[in-house]
Amino acid sequence: MQAAAAEVPVENESGSESRRGCLVIRILSPDVANRIAAGEVVERPASVVKELLENSLDAEATRVLIEIEEGGKRLIRVTDDGCGLTADDLALAFVAHATSKIASVEELFEVQSFGFRGEALASIGSVSRASILSRRADETLGHQVRCEGGSLSPVEKAGGPRGTVVEIRDLFFNTPARRKFLKSDGAEIARISEAVLRVLLGREDLALELKHNGRRVLRVDRAESFEARLLELFGQDLAGKLIPVRAEAEGICLDGFLAAPDAARGNAQRQYLLLNERFIRDRSLQHAVSRGYEGFLLPRRYPVWFLRLDMDPASVDVNVHPMKTEVRFREKNRLFALVQRACRTALEASRPSGTLHLKPEAPYRSPSSRSSSSSAAPATRRERVAEMEAGLFGSEPAPAQRPEVFDEPSTTTPMRGGASSAKRRSCRDGAWPRHVEDPESFRFVQMHDSYLVVEDALGFHVVDQHALHERMLFENLAQRMEKGEVASQELLIPWVRELSASEKQRVLAAEAELDAMGLRIRDFGGQAVAVEAVPLEFGDASPDGLIDAVLAADEERVEESFSSLRRRLLAAMACRAAVKFGQSLSDREIRVLLAWERESPQSAACPHGRPTRVRIGLEELERLFLRKD
């Protein structure tokens, strides 16, 4: 348990007091205490870990060991080699508004440490069985204090290594309602890993180990540089893709890395902003970076970036949010411009090859006369009326009876097939059923490789090919799972992907659910996972995309009824596996989609609740052409 502390280097034994965390603890005057942003400090185990880790950093720790049991619900233990607390400090550590970091209202406006409220340990101690064991470098014997559900024990002498061990057992033991609100152990350790990762991004000089139930989740040594730390935390996939950014103006220093546009992802989870070593969220600056990337990214792709801002603490207010993740900048607009310009300049200077993927102009293919497999629109008004009466998906006249309406030669502007079919991925055919009911009964054209315009008895409808396919994959897989059938396709070579520690924990937390779907993902050691098999329906989706889907499932907003993790995972995966906009489809693929659309009551909306089709009736057309009032 005390491995990290045992390895502590001894050269710092002077007990430096340069950081405010190492000064004497005092109770804040009510005047100061009342000005502090109040609110929930301890929400879940990850928030406890964040607070304890920040305390260790304020105490100038260089090595930290974090041990977690049962997702943090049973135990959170943080051992550091920092300056430690005296017996007098320990007596106040769990007292509300007791801090060594600020003393006056003025200091509240130029906070230089992570902590300043003197509230974290008091809040944690009131909802757990907590203890602190600490020894300062200049003392031979340490001391210990306990706090159980808010009631303090006397400070006692106790032996221990230099530094501090904070133990939090049975979090929320006295507030069962909050305990019930916690997620599975896997989900909680994933959040803890993310909280740790955010701290590690601000401090590459920190060596840290995180263990869960005795197993190592993450271990990092002091890093040589920010770049080295990023590769260590996010995997070597980023190697060679990090574009440095640096800008300085009037006391503000921006530095960090933008990932090349081809490393962009389907969600914004890999966007990290640190202000004076503290992870923050700031929509405006996030937007500034996105503006910098404008023109470099495909639609709905989110850039990956890691940026750090350093500025005078007096020019920013961190006392805004109880979790301290939101701050208020005094010169917001100037900062926005600086960030946007720096990102733009860095991207333009790097000119990453092959990354300006702005969508090429897709040639417009006009509807044309059909090959023998298709039929044309009804020629006469009477025939159209007959169709209208037959209903939207009602019976249609036999194809042979229909005259053709468009007379361009099919060889030059084919409605289907032709030159574009040669580009099609033949491997995708595996995921599409061979047999299609009543294949001749559809008349359609694919427009801009994105929409299917389909004639129906009452007019026509335009189908969003991605949305419809997404719904089809979702329903097919959900149905199969309901019947308890798992059909998966083994990958010849497992697909290995490096993730951050928290991402890996999130994926592994969903392992059983994913297995039930036929998506087999295994721990590949280090920070990697391997995809060994994918659900049959998703046979042609990239395993990378499926992993992204698992990571996005938490955030994905799907129809309200899809509250279970399984359905959210399914929806996210269906989205990744479905045909994309700009993708040419074969006749057979379109017919499969349209046959499913016709038979399935759920086909009107995609799993995210967006419509899959828009209808235009003949009557409306007639009105548009002023044939009718």
- Give, to the nearest 10 degrees, the angle between helix 185-202 and helix 501-509: 170
- Residue 100 touches which member of ligand ATP, Mg ion, none, C-beta under 5-8 Å by kind: ligand ATP
CB nearer to Mg ion: give 192 or 472: 192
Q: Taken in order 563, 565, 567, 571, is the CA torsion positive or negative?
A: positive
Residue from the set 65, 85, 316, 458 that interacts with ligand ATP by CB under 6 A: 85
573 is an interface residue for Mg ion by CB under 5 A: no
How many residues form the binding site for Mg ion (CB under 5 A)? Answer: 3
Residue closest to ligand ATP when measured from CB atoms = 115
CB nearer to ligand ATP: give 88 or 312: 88
Q: How far is the CB of 115 from Mg ion (least distance, A)?
A: 3
Q: Give the x-and-dash track for 533-572 against ligand ATP (CB under 6 A).
A: ----------------------------------------
Regarding beta strands 156-158 and 163-169, do their DSSP bridges make them parallel or antiparallel, or are they unpaired? unpaired
Q: How far is the CB of 486 from ligand ATP (least distance, A)?
A: 48
Q: What are phi and psi of 394, to 5 degrees?
A: -75, -175
Within 57-76, the residues that bind ligand ATP by CB under 6 A are 59
Nearest to 272 by CA among 247, 244, 307: 307
- Residue 85 touches which member of Mg ion, ligand ATP, none, C-beta under 5-8 Å by kind: ligand ATP
Residue entry with tokens 């702005």: 358
CB nearer to ligand ATP: give 86 or 340: 86
The enclosing H or E element of 278 equals: strand 278-280
Cβ(251)–Cβ(312) below 8 Å: yes
Report the C-alpha gap between 552 and 309 in whole angstroms.
27
Q: How far is the CB of 335 from ligand ATP (least distance, A)?
A: 24
CB nearer to Mg ion: give 271 or 319: 319
- Residue 32 touches which member of Mg ion, ligand ATP, none, C-beta under 5-8 Å by kind: none
Q: Taken in order 561, 567, 569, 574, is the CA torsion positive or negative?
A: negative
DSSP per-residue string spanning 538-558 = GTTS-HHHHHHHHHHTTT---
25 is an interface residue for ligand ATP by CB under 6 A: yes
Within 35-54, the residues that bind ligand ATP by CB under 6 A are 51
116 is an interface residue for ligand ATP by CB under 6 A: yes
- Residue 116 touches which member of Mg ion, ligand ATP, none, C-beta under 5-8 Å by kind: ligand ATP
Q: Which letter does DSSP use for residue 121 in this model?
A: H
Stretch that binds ligand ATP, among 120-128, 195-203, 404-412, 540-548 (CB under 6 A): 120-128
Q: How far is the CB of 21 from ligand ATP (least distance, A)?
A: 5
CB < 8 Å & 24+ apart, contacts of 359-362: 359/298, 359/299, 359/582, 362/448, 362/449, 362/582
Burial of 260-290, coded b for 16+ CB within 10 Å and e otherwise, reads bbebbbbbebbbbbbbbbbbbebeebbebbb
Q: Taken in order 299, 305, 310, 313, is the CA torsion positive or negative?
A: positive
Q: How far is the CB of 276 from Mg ion (least distance, A)?
A: 16
117 is an interface residue for ligand ATP by CB under 6 A: yes
Residue from the set 119, 455, 475, 597 that interacts with ligand ATP by CB under 6 A: 119
Residue from the set 8, 22, 120, 130 that interacts with Mg ion by CB under 5 A: 120
CB nearer to ligand ATP: give 100 or 276: 100
Nearest to 553 by CA among 503, 479, 478: 503
Count, residues in the chain: 629
Q: How far is the CB of 80 from ligand ATP (least distance, A)?
A: 5
Report the C-alpha gap between 456 and 472 in whole angstroms.
20
82 is an interface residue for ligand ATP by CB under 6 A: yes
55 is an interface residue for ligand ATP by CB under 6 A: yes
Q: How far is the CB of 123 from ligand ATP (least distance, A)?
A: 8
Q: How far is the CB of 616 from ligand ATP (least distance, A)?
A: 60
Within 55-84, the residues that bind Mg ion by CB under 5 A are 55
CB nearer to Mg ion: give 45 or 303: 45
CB nearer to Mg ion: give 121 or 454: 121
Residue from the set 45, 71, 72, 115 that interacts with ligand ATP by CB under 6 A: 115
Output the 3-class SS for 145-206.
EEEECCEECCCEEECCCCEEEEEEECCCCCCHHHHHCCCCHHHHHHHHHHHHHHHHHHCCCC
Q: Is 262 helix (H, G, I), strand (E, B) or coil?
A: helix
Residue from the set 164, 319, 340, 505 that interacts with ligand ATP by CB under 6 A: 164
Nearest to 305 by CA among 244, 365, 366: 244
99 is an interface residue for ligand ATP by CB under 6 A: yes
Nearest to 230 by CA among 254, 257, 268, 195: 257
Residue from the set 45, 72, 115, 518 that interacts with Mg ion by CB under 5 A: 115
How many residues form the binding site for ligand ATP (CB under 6 A)? Answer: 25
Binding site for Mg ion (CB under 5 A): 55, 115, 120
Binding site for ligand ATP (CB under 6 A): 21, 25, 51, 55-56, 59, 80, 82-85, 89, 93, 99-101, 115-122, 164
